[in-house]
Amino acid sequence: MARIVGGLGTSHVPSIGAALDKGLRDTPEWKPFFDGYVPAREWVREQRPDVAVVVFNDHFNALFLDRVPTFAVGCAAEYHPVDEGWGPRAIPPFPGASRFAWHLADTLVENRFDPEIIQEIKVDHGLQVPMELFWGRPADAWPVKVVPIFVNVLQYPIPLPARLYELGKTLRRAIESYDGDERFVVLGTGGLSHQLQGARAGFLNREADQRFLVDIAEDPDRLAGWSREQYVETFGGEGAEVVMWLVMRGALNREVVVRHRHYFAPASMTGAGMIVLEDA
Ligand code: DHB
Ligand code: FE
């Protein structure tokens, strides 16, 4: 029977990928950040998930304002990394778990979520960076298949936090009703606090970030009850993308165990957080 081995939350700042590309992992600026992920990678190695469901947003790299799906499920056999302007990165394409992805799309529709179904798309730092943080950069092929769930967090109207939490619960139903025997891990990505433009450019809220890393484990219902505007006020215009962690959290039991937690700020202009959760 298919089952969830746990949930991972992480920031997905593009400069993390750039730091790895430039060999900056062990520089004084970056080492404390990357060292925080060592136990999480160990956890992933021990758990050996077969499929990673990655909840993230495209940042106008593969989708633009001409089409803005609120939710989209990737059903492709593989996903190439998109070139975000600095040239192609030396990472292999991500193999898709397309059979499960279709089952997920089915389950979502049956539960009154109606996602766009995407059969061809490239993936940006929102997926690339978390995969590399938790699995490391593979020499030739990724040891895990991915199912991308794209969430619109850029162009209003973005979905309600409560809806994302609910989406996570439906994702769990899809995994538990799947007729495979794969081990699943669910990734929620984005955040933590940052604002890249406008009057509050450079905004960081370390206190709220630290609190979020506690509450996402202990009190997700409270976080799911916040308004979208509360997220923008608390975490910044772009930091509000942290709502995507609620999908990961909704896929887990009400009671969870925190295996690992890490916070580092600023990474680029962002409060960078990470959490590893298992069902209690
Ligand atoms: C940055 C952070 C993000 O989460 C993102 O998607 C893009 C840029 C940043 O801090 O530079
Ligand atoms: Fe982002």
Query: What's the topology of domain 3-279?
Result: Protocatechuate 4,5-dioxygenase; Chain B (3.40.830)
Is 266's C-beta closer than 6 angstroms to any atom of ligand 1? Answer: no
CB atoms within 10 A of CB 74: 28
pLDDT for residue 130: 98
Give the three-class secondary structure for 66: coil
The pLDDT value given to residue 1: 86
Token pair recorded at residue 5 = 């081995």
CB 270 less than 6 A from any atom of ligand 1: yes
How far, in Å, from the CA of 143 to the mean position of ligand 2? 25
User: Which residue's CA is the closest to the ligand 1 atom numbered 3?
Assistant: 13
- Residue 100 has phi, psi (to 5 degrees) of -65, -40
Residue with the nearest Cα to atom 10 of ligand 1?
A: 269
Proportion of the chain in helix, strand, coil states, percent, rounded to 5: 35, 25, 40
pLDDT at 207: 98
Tell me how far apart the alpha carbons of residues 221 and 94 are, in angstroms, rounded to a whole number. Answer: 33
Query: Could you identify the atom of ligand 1 that is nearest to the CA of residue 57?
Result: 6
3 state SS of 249: helix
Structure letter (DSSP) for residue 262: E
Q: What is the Cα–Cα distance from 263 to 199, expressed in whole angstroms? A: 25
Q: Give Cα 239 to chain centroid, integer Å.
A: 13
- Of 196, 197, 244, 264, the residue with max ligand 1 atoms within 8 A of its CB, to mutate for a pocket test, comes to 196
* Ligand 1 pocket, residue 59 CB under 6 Å: yes
Residues serving a catalytic function are 125, 194
Q: What is the pLDDT of residues 255-270, one digit of tens each?
A: 999 999 999 999 999 9
Please determine, for residue 153, whether its predicted confidence score (pLDDT) is greater than 90: yes
CA 1 / ligand 2 centre spacing (Å) = 34
Matching residue, tokens 């997920």: 104
Q: What is the pLDDT of residue 86?
A: 83
Band of pLDDT at residue 87, cut at 50, 70 and 90: confident
What value does the mean pLDDT of the chain take?
Answer: 97
pLDDT at site 2: 95
Would the CB of 239 count as within 6 Å of ligand 1? no
Nearest protein Cα to ligand 1, atom 1: 13
**Domain boundaries of the chain, sorted by first residue:** 3-279
CA 46 – ligand 2 centroid, Å: 28
Contact between 40 and 219 under an 8 Å Cβ cutoff? The reply is no
Q: Kindly provide the residue ranges of all beta strands, DSSP E only, lying in the chain, ordered along the sequence.
A: 3-10, 51-56, 71-74, 78-79, 94-95, 116-118, 145-151, 183-189, 256-267, 270-279
88 band by pLDDT with thresholds 50, 70 and 90: confident
For ligand 1, atom 8, name the residue with the nearest CA: 13
Phi, psi of 61, deg, nearest 5: -100, -40
CA distances to 16, 78, 85, 101, 131 from 23, in Å: 11, 27, 19, 35, 17
Q: What pTM was computed for the model?
A: 0.98
14 CB less than 6 Å from ligand 1?
Answer: yes
pLDDT digits (tens, 9 = 90+) for 209-250: 999 999 999 999 999 999 999 999 999 999 999 999 999 999
**From the CB of 13, is ligand 1 less than 6 Å away?**
yes
